[in-house]
Structure 1
Amino acid sequence: MKTARLRIPAAVLAIIMSLSGCYFFPEEEKLLDPPVIAPDEVAYSTFTARRKTIESTINVTGYVKSKKEAECYFTAYTGQIKNVYVRAGEFVNEGDLIAEMNVGELEYLLEIQKLEVEAAQLRYSSSGSQADKLDLEIAQSTLEMYQARYDGAKVFAPMSGQVSYVYKIDPGTEFDPYKVIARIVDPEDLYVAASYDGDAKDFEVGDKVTVTVESDEYGCTVYYTPHEAAADGADDKKALYADFDSSAPSFAYLGAIANIKKVKSVSENAVVIPKNLVKTDGDRTYVQVFEDGQKKEKDVVLGITNATEAEITEGLDAGEAVIIR
């Protein structure tokens, strides 16, 4: 017995497969939407604009000096110190002995030479000879040499006043000529001296300034400026001098640093922010503020500025948050 086989034409088979393809292959998976990443919230550091008084100032560093002072020093030769007779703070009179050197046997030689001159004078007066005259001249010349050397071993006060400085030195130590061993000043006539490199027009005679010595402030009045120095042909064309008005530091502060401050302009109840928060772009001046949760830029107009602060006259109000970074 033969088994009958069902023959299906190839064209029909192709149609069936195309209609039923989903039954032969797995179903495709749906693609997921890409994840949405929320941006991190930006945190800003801010400075709150506030109202305060702002000043524009000129600051110069000078020193406390005395208008009348004199230095004491040996002029003849290098020698060993015998003694220094004054101390800082003491008052002296003109002609007082300040210090002297060891002279060894010079004092003895000086006295002997005085006698030699007297003897030579007697011989010449008696004889009148040229030889005795020559001996007298030689004796006098030798005496003058000894006297000059003896006098050069002493230093006397060239003025009356207060000793502001004494070189600390032990007896027997060698000391060179023209090296200052003491300084005498008039303690009642102190002033501030400085050298100003800025515009000569910044200071005028009569300007009121504040001078700080150590931590104490003093009112002063300018009496000499670079303008006067240039007109006078002074060695220091940048000289700036100011007198203390009512009170002055003690002589102990002679040579101390004195900071001079002149107020050029002042604005009270001004809107003020740190100067470094002001930005520029060409002719534009602006600040960045944090407003309504966003960073914004605001054009501003500047008033007084100094080394650390800036006054805002337009474009920013007190209380606004200016972005630092």
Structure 2
Amino acid sequence: MNKIQKKILMPFVLAAALSFSGCYFFPNEEPVLEPPTLDVEKVVYSTYTVGRKDIESAVIQSGYVISASETDCYFNKYSGQLKNIYVNPGDFVEEGQLVAEMNNGTIEYQLKVQQKKVELAQLNYNNSHSAVDKLQLDIEQSTLESYQDQYDGGRIYAPVSGQVSFVKTLNPGDMVDPYDVLVKIIDPDKLCVRAEVTGSGGFSADDPVTVEVNGDIYEGVVVRTPKEELEEGDGFSDAVFVEFTKESPGFGCLGSIGNIKKVKASSLNTLVIPKYVIKTDGDRQYVQILKNDEKTEVDITTGVSNAVEIEVLSGLSEGDKVISR
């Protein structure tokens, strides 16, 4: 083969070589896979079914049942040893009745002796009308008054008629001091509820209220608020007082908790939903409801509310499913 023929054949040889060795320069293409498909899970919502019920907005304050008339009983002259207390809680007493006394030693005997001395001095003066006998009568009378004062100072008499609400626990022979309250007497027909409040507590004089005492409900009326207390300077500038208007709890409820309730607004058999399902956007109020398995926003207007629930005036119907979360 001459040189000219070699030059002519060379391109054909190279082309053939390249065609046979192409798999070494260009890898085989992999088959195209179908893209994976994702199953979308169905969203499950928690819902609240709109229903009808009564709702009220109220102010509630707790206090204690007390008596509007309460009198303390105590010795007011001197300290001494207690002889006895003659009454018990719940007892009815009459004004002037002896409720407690001290051991008075020989005072009672000295008082009786002195009464005789006064009688004798009076007889002597009646017979003589002398200045000396008049002076002696005055001395004996003054001594008698001193003994009588000591005797009376060791005895406590009921200053009013009423019912004993408190008796201090003491034993005969215990020391007692002046103004140490031993007995309290109340008027059982003047029970009321006193509740400490901040500001007015939401109450005004003459407000009708109800009072729950030991599970029983009583009707009442607000008779005093901090405003009246401050104006009259009675010392209870942080309290509301409620009197019972019809029935009142018995003596056994004295000191019990009384829950005062003032209803500000109420609505009967109305549509009610929980407050937490309501959403806001400025002045707009709306809820999300589930309708035909789809979430839908619905504007609503509301009415009476309490701490956890609110009345729906428009936008919802009974049986609607409101999405809570």
TM-score, reference length from structure 1: 0.78
The alpha-carbon deviation at position 146 of structure 1 amounts to: 5.6
In the alignment, which residue of structure 1 is the partner of 2:49?
A: 48
Compute the RMSD of aligned alpha carbons. 3.7
Whichever residue aligns with residue 51 of structure 1, its letter is R
Gaps of 5+ in 2: 1-5
Aligned partners of 1:160 and 1:40: how far apart in 2? 80
Aligned partners of 2:100 and 2:111: how far apart in 1? 20
Name which of structure 1's ranges 196-205 and 87-96 shifts more when overlaid on structure 2: 196-205
Aligned partners of 1:234 and 1:306: how far apart in 2? 34
| Matched positions, count | 312
> Are positions 1:156 and 2:119 aligned together?
no
Whichever residue aligns with residue 249 of structure 2, its letter is P
Aligned partners of 1:144 and 1:281: how far apart in 2? 85
Which runs of structure 2 are paired with 1:1-325 in the superposition (5 Å)? 11-21=11-21, 23-24=23-24, 27-105=28-106, 107=108, 147-197=148-198, 199=200, 202-205=203-206, 207-325=207-325
Aligned partners of 2:249 and 2:215: how far apart in 1? 11
- % identical equivalent positions: 44
Aligned partners of 1:173 and 1:298: how far apart in 2? 76
The alpha-carbon deviation at position 107 of structure 1 amounts to: 4.5
What SS does structure 2 have at the residue aligned with 1:98? strand
Q: Is the 8 A contact 1:201 1:227 kept in 2?
A: no
The alpha-carbon deviation at position 166 of structure 1 amounts to: 1.8
Aligned partners of 2:262 and 2:179: how far apart in 1? 39
Q: Is the 8 A contact 2:93 2:162 kept in 1?
A: yes
Gaps of 5+ in 1: 1-5
The alpha-carbon deviation at position 203 of structure 1 amounts to: 2.7
- Distance change in 2, residues 1:15/1:239 (3 Å): same
Q: Is the 8 A contact 2:191 2:243 kept in 1?
A: yes
What SS does structure 1 have at the residue aligned with 2:15? helix
In the alignment, which residue of structure 1 is the partner of 2:3?
A: none
Aligned partners of 2:175 and 2:33: how far apart in 1? 99
Q: Is the 8 A contact 2:288 2:298 kept in 1?
A: yes
What SS does structure 2 have at the residue aligned with 1:82? strand
What SS does structure 2 have at the residue aligned with 1:168? coil
Q: Is the 8 A contact 2:275 2:310 kept in 1?
A: yes
Name which of structure 1's ranges 68-77 and 28-37 shifts more when overlaid on structure 2: 28-37
Aligned partners of 1:51 and 1:11: how far apart in 2? 97
What SS does structure 1 have at the residue aligned with 2:16? helix
The alpha-carbon deviation at position 34 of structure 1 amounts to: 4.7
Q: Is the 8 A contact 1:65 1:190 kept in 2?
A: yes
Deviations 1:43-85 (A, max 9, x none): 3322211111211112222322223221112223443332111
The alpha-carbon deviation at position 111 of structure 1 amounts to: 6.1
Aligned partners of 1:116 and 1:51: how far apart in 2? 89
Aligned partners of 1:8 and 1:103: how far apart in 2? 157
Deviations 1:156-208 (A, max 9, x none): 11101111222233333333432322211121232233344355874342x32
Q: Is the 8 A contact 1:208 1:220 kept in 2?
A: yes
Deviations 1:117-148 (A, max 9, x none): 999999xx9995xxxx89x97x9888766654
The alpha-carbon deviation at position 98 of structure 1 amounts to: 1.1
Q: Is the 8 A contact 2:59 2:202 kept in 1?
A: no
What SS does structure 2 have at the residue aligned with 1:212? strand
Whichever residue aligns with residue 310 of structure 2, its letter is A
Aligned partners of 1:32 and 1:248: how far apart in 2? 87
Q: Is the 8 A contact 1:200 1:227 kept in 2?
A: no
Aligned partners of 2:62 and 2:202: how far apart in 1? 18
Name which of structure 1's ranges 229-238 and 71-80 shifts more when overlaid on structure 2: 229-238
The alpha-carbon deviation at position 269 of structure 1 amounts to: 2.5
Aligned partners of 1:34 and 1:230: how far apart in 2? 82
The alpha-carbon deviation at position 87 of structure 1 amounts to: 1.1
Aligned partners of 1:145 and 1:22: how far apart in 2? 143
What SS does structure 2 have at the residue aligned with 1:188? helix
Q: Is the 8 A contact 2:200 2:225 kept in 1?
A: no
